[in-house]
Amino acid sequence: MPTDIIIYHNPECGTSRNALGLIRNAGIEPHVIEYLKTPPARPLLAQLIERAGITPRDLLREKGTPYAELGLGDESLTDEALLDAMMAHPILINRPLVVSQLGVKLCRPSEVVLDMLPSPQQGAFAKEDGERVVDERGQRVV
């Protein structure tokens, strides 16, 4: 049975690169969507948020974004207003967001992606910072 995985990816983000590496370490070549170049349409983004069981605020990224200057910390802002901000400034969308047959998740930390993969890891994997996530047998390091 084919495995279809989508990762909304930012190649400048270490967490996103680590999640992509873990997907590939399971022998899966995902559909990689560089969401800063090709942001999801608003209805799709809203659907992904709903399927992930989170709120638009949960998907907002603060660091390295116009979050503060746009006043997005204001708790009275509606979900619609937050979606508007993410559409206008895709850098506000946190990453990586992964879609698989097992659901949708914001994979922070990157090893959360292991719960999204229908295939086991094929070997050892360490994050870019050297932290071991998967051992030589393909087992998650706890």
Q: Which of the residues are catalytic?
A: 13
Helix axes 42-52, 79-88, angle to 10 degrees: 120
